[in-house]
Amino acid sequence: MTDRMAKLDRLLALVHALSESSEGLTLDEMAETLGVNRRTAERMRNIIARHFDLEEVSEDRRKRFFIRDSLRRVYTRPTAAEVAALQAEVDGRRGAGQTVRGDQLASLLSKVKGAFDDREKRRIDPDLEALTRLQRTMVTAGPVATVPPETVAIVQAAILSGCCIEFSYAAVQQQEPRWRRVIPFGIVHGPLSYLVGKMPDRENDPVYYRLDRMVEPRLSEKLGCAPDDWDIDAWLADSFAVWRDEKQDVVLRVHASAAARAHEWRFHRYQQIEALENGDLLIRFTSGGMRELAEHLFTWGNELVIEQPTALIELMRQRIIAALTMLPEQTTQPETTTFVAHSMQD
């Protein structure tokens, strides 16, 4: 064993000795245990104190040291930054009306905080207070829908028990709810929370059901679960967002002036980027959900051109025309809007 490895071996041996001792060790006992002098034992103790909760007790004018709790606790104890990040996520989810995830994360946060003993709380509280006071998750505009926790619990119970779930459902708020029985294929959280479900004994693909529009959900006596080869991530990638329609081969050309931004942007999980000689970028991916993609591309203005598919080009043209109706009648159409509309032409 090299000298360096021998020093590391002694240090680890001292860590275990301090954690296994119920009464603690004096510096002399540390030195004797390791076969080193008192000064070396003191330096090793100081190093250990930087990384572990080293307790000090006095007994007959002698100081004894031991590591508080098990060694595992040292590596599993959350930091102030981690707890503050979780707190910010809880507040952000609730602020955005995403009560499903917000309540679940709040429950987790409560358990994390409850696991701290008084000493750990005193150590973490100052940093935690400072970070939670000045750290937020941004809440953007979007839908707000409250989902009863019982609904989430029933959907999860159906997944775990391998049975169908029954409920009344209105795809549009004005419609009269209709009874449904579906096989649960998963839960998807976003601005809204959805059950991914498929009607049994049918060849149709799974579809989304908004959790907030499910009325009186209950477990069904009919068995049903997703097949073993079901890949929810691959299914999600088939569409740009929630709307599901025929998949299209999408090609976007980003102008060189916006290439840096595009390199830091994800249009699709499986996108491919090709750099052109003039500095432009071609973004390629295959996906459904052209309406939501068209609305997303509004944020890029005149920084890109839709090369294909024709369906997306036509849909973008329609969305631009519809967007112009949002302006007062006496407002002159801005030149940038005219430029974007022209860039969408074949």
Q: Say whether both 66 and 84 belong to one domain.
A: no
Asked, for residue 17, whether it belongs to a domain, the answer is yes
Q: Enumerate the β-bridge partners of residue 178.
A: 169
Asked, for residue 183, whether it belongs to a domain, the answer is yes
Asked, for residue 18, whether it belongs to a domain, the answer is yes
Q: What is the mean pLDDT of the chain?
A: 89
Q: What is the pLDDT of residue 59?
A: 78
Q: What is the pLDDT of residue 171?
A: 82
Q: Which of 250, 340, 266 is nearest to 303 (CA)?
A: 340
Q: What residues make up the domain containing 275?
A: 248-343
Asked, for residue 242, whether it belongs to a domain, the answer is no
Number of domains composing the chain: 4
Q: Enumerate the β-bridge partners of residue 198.
A: 183
pLDDT tens figures, 257-312:
999 999 999 999 999 999 999 999 999 999 999 999 999 999 998 999 999 999 99
Asked, for residue 227, whether it belongs to a domain, the answer is yes
> Model confidence at 333, in pLDDT bands (50, 70, 90)?
low
The alpha carbon torsion through 36, 38, 39, 44 (nearest 10 deg) reads: 70
Asked, for residue 144, whether it belongs to a domain, the answer is no
Residue 317: is its pLDDT beyond 80? Answer: yes
Asked, for residue 243, whether it belongs to a domain, the answer is no
Q: What is the pLDDT of residue 340?
A: 43
Q: Say whether both 43 and 86 belong to one domain.
A: no
Among 196, 211, 237, the domain-final residue is: 237
Q: What is the pLDDT of residue 332?
A: 61
pLDDT tens figures, 212-268:
999 999 999 999 999 999 999 999 999 998 988 899 999 999 999 999 999 999 999
Mean pLDDT, range 182-197, rounded to an integer: 95
φ/ψ of 225, rounded to 5, equals -150, 165
Q: The tokens of 320 are what?
A: 């631009």
Among 211, 237, 263, the domain-final residue is: 237
Cα 190 from Cα 114, distance rounded (Å): 28
Q: Say whether both 70 and 88 belong to one domain.
A: no
Give me the long-range contacts of 275-281 (CB less than 8 A, separation at least 24): 280/253, 280/254, 280/255, 280/256, 281/253, 281/254, 281/256
The percent of residues in the chain predicted with pLDDT above 70, rounded, is 94
Q: Say whether both 258 and 324 belong to one domain.
A: yes
Q: Which of 240, 250, 225, 259 is nearest to 306 (CA)?
A: 250
Q: Say whether both 90 and 29 belong to one domain.
A: no
Residue 343: is its pLDDT beyond 50? Answer: no
Q: Say whether both 13 and 68 belong to one domain.
A: yes
Q: What is the pLDDT of residue 334?
A: 57
CATH number at residue 62: 1.10.10.10
Q: Say whether both 335 and 252 belong to one domain.
A: yes
Among the residue ranges 17-31, 92-106, 126-140, 328-342, the one predicted with the least confidence is 328-342
pLDDT tens figures, 63-80:
999 887 767 777 788 999
CB-side neighbour CA atoms (13 Å) of 305? 14
CB-side neighbour CA atoms (13 Å) of 169? 21
Q: The tokens of 233 are what?
A: 């991530």
Asked, for residue 139, whether it belongs to a domain, the answer is no
Q: What is the pLDDT of residue 338?
A: 42
In 3-state terms, what secondary structure has residue 307?
Answer: strand
Among 74, 97, 120, the domain-final residue is: 74
CB-side neighbour CA atoms (13 Å) of 174? 0
For the chain, helix, strand, coil in percent to 5 are: 45, 25, 30
Residues 249, 252, 255, CA angle at the centre, nearest 5°? Answer: 165
Q: What is the pLDDT of residue 267?
A: 96
Is residue 289 within 8 A of residue 242, CB to CB? The reply is yes
Q: Say whether both 170 and 252 belong to one domain.
A: no
CB atoms within 10 A of CB 184: 26
Mean pLDDT, range 192-202, rounded to an integer: 93
> Model confidence at 201, in pLDDT bands (50, 70, 90)?
confident
Q: Say whether both 334 and 265 belong to one domain.
A: yes
pLDDT tens figures, 167-178:
999 887 767 889
Q: What is the DSSP string of 218-279?
A: EEEEEE----TT--HHHHHHTBSSS-----EEEEEEE-GGGHHHHHT--S-TT-EEEE-TTS
Q: Say whether both 28 and 83 belong to one domain.
A: no
With 0-12 CB in 10 A as exposed, 13-18 as middle and 19+ as buried, what is 56? Answer: exposed
The percent of residues in the chain predicted with pLDDT above 90, rounded, is 64
CATH number at residue 195: 2.30.30.520
Residue 25: is its pLDDT beyond 60? Answer: yes
Residue 341: is its pLDDT beyond 90? Answer: no
Better-scored residue on pLDDT, 84 or 141: 84
Cα 105 from Cα 111, distance rounded (Å): 10
Q: How far is CA 286 from CA 77, 167, 234, 238, in A?
A: 43, 34, 12, 7
Q: Say whether both 12 and 97 belong to one domain.
A: no
Q: Which of 223, 280, 219, 278 is nearest to 251 (CA)?
A: 280
Q: Output the pTM of the full model.
A: 0.75
Q: Enumerate the β-bridge partners of residue 165.
A: 182, 219
Q: What is the pLDDT of residue 145?
A: 87
Q: Say whether both 256 and 338 belong to one domain.
A: yes
